[in-house]
Amino acid sequence: RRVRRAVVSNLAEELDLDPAALRRPIRSYSKGMAQKLGILATLLTDRPLLILDEPMSGLDPKARILLKRQLVAAHARGRTIFMSSHILADHDELCDRVAVLHQGRLGYVGSPAGLKESQGAPTLETAFLAAIEGPRAAASA
C-alpha cells in the first residue's frame, strides 16, 4: 500500500520515532525503536481490524503513552483493536472487553469492570488471578 511520506513522518513523530531513522536498516534499531516501527506499519494499513501482540513490549513510558493515544484515536475512528498483553493495567485502561483464557479454557468475556466486580477485586490483576486460581489466591497476592 502506498502512503504519503508526510503521513508516515507525522505518525512516526506522534509515536516518538524520528522519521530520519526510517532510512536506516532495521537491524540498527533498538528493541523499542523496532517495536515502534512495527506499530507504525500496522497503524498505516488503515485496516478496520488491528491485531496487536504485546504492543507495549520494549517501549519506554513516553512511548507507551503515545501509543495508547494512537490506539484510542484509532478506536474512536471505528477500528477494532484485538490486543494481547501481560500488562493487565493496559487492558483495564484501553479495552471495552477482555477475555480470560487459561489452560485452554475461556473463563471470562466481558468488560474489565465486570471482571473486577465478578471477582470482588480492586484491580484487573487481582481479578484475573481470582478468575484462574480462586478468590483465596487473589487475596494473598
Q: Are strands 49-53 and 80-84 parallel, antiparallel or unpaired?
A: parallel
Q: Is the pLDDT of residue 138 over 70?
A: no
Predicted local confidence at residue 141, as pLDDT: 57
The predicted pLDDT at position 5 comes to 87
Q: pLDDT of 62-116, one tens digit each? A: 999 999 999 999 999 999 999 999 999 999 999 999 999 999 999 899 999 999 9
Q: Give the model's pLDDT for residue 118.
A: 94
Coil vs helix vs strand at 91? helix
pLDDT, position 57: 92
CB contact at 8 A, 123 and 130: no
Q: How confident is the model at residue 134 (pLDDT cuts 50, 70, 90)?
A: confident
pLDDT 10s digits, 6-60: 999 999 999 998 888 888 888 888 898 999 999 999 999 989 999 999 999 999 9
Sign of CA dihedral 50, 54, 58, 59: positive
Counting residues of the chain whose pLDDT is more than 90, the rounded percentage is 72
Alpha helices in 4-109 (DSSP H): 5-14, 31-44, 61-76, 88-94
